[in-house]
C-alpha cells in the first residue's frame, strides 16, 4: 500500500511520503490531521493525535525535507532546514520543494491527508 500524503500549510501544498516504521503507520492511521502549526528555526511542527515513545533509531540531525515525529511534544515536524530541538524519528520525506514552507507563519493551518489515489 502506498503511503503518499499531501501536506497543506497555509495554502502551500506539497506531496510527501511516509515510510513503513511503526510510528509512521500510526500517523497514517490517524490521517487526516489538521492543526495550527508552529515555526521554530527551519521547521514547522504541530501536535498530532499519535502517542509513541522514542524509537531506537531516533536521530539528533535531519536532512532538509525530512518528516519526523518528536516524542516529547507528540508532534509531526516538517524540516526545510536542519534544526531539530532534540532527537526525532524520521517518518518520511517531502517529494517537492520543502523550502516553500519557509514562508509559513506561526498559527498557519496545517492539513496532512492521504493523497488521492491516481
Strand partners, 68: 77, 90
* Contact criterion met (CB below 8 Å) for 74 and 47: yes
Give the separation between CA 87 and CA 29, rounded to whole angstroms. 23
Q: What pLDDT digit, counting tens, does each position of 48-94 carry?
A: 999 998 777 889 999 999 999 999 999 999 999 877 778 999 999 99
Q: What is the pLDDT of residues 3-29, one digit of tens each?
A: 999 999 999 999 999 999 999 999 999
Model confidence, pTM: 0.91
Give rounded-to-5 percent helix, strand, coil for the chain: 15, 40, 45
Cell of 76: 509531526
* Residues 102, 117: Cα–Cα separation, whole Å: 28
Domains of the chain, start order: 4-114 (2.40.100.20)
Amino acid at each position: 500500500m502506498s503511503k503518499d500524503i499531501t501536506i497543506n500549510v497555509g495554502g502551500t501544498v506539497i506531496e510527501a511520503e511516509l515510510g513503513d516504521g511503526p510510528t509512521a503507520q500510526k500517523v497514517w492511521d490517524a490521517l487526516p490531521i489538521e492543526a495550527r502549526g508552529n515555526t521554530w528555526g527551519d521547521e514547522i511542527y504541530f501536535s498530532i493525535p499519535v502517542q509513541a515513545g522514542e524509537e531506537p533509531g531516533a536521530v539528533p540531525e535531519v536532512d532538509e525535507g525530512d518528516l519526523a515525529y518528536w516524542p516529547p511534544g507528540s508532534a509531526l515536524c516538517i524540516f526545510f532546514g536542519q534544526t531539530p530541538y532534540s532527537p526525532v524519528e524520521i517518518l518520511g520525506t517531502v517529494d517537492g520543494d520543502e523550502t516553500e514552507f519557509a514562508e509559513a507563519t506561526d498559527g498557519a493551518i496545517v492539513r496532512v491527508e492521504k493523497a488521492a489515489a491516481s
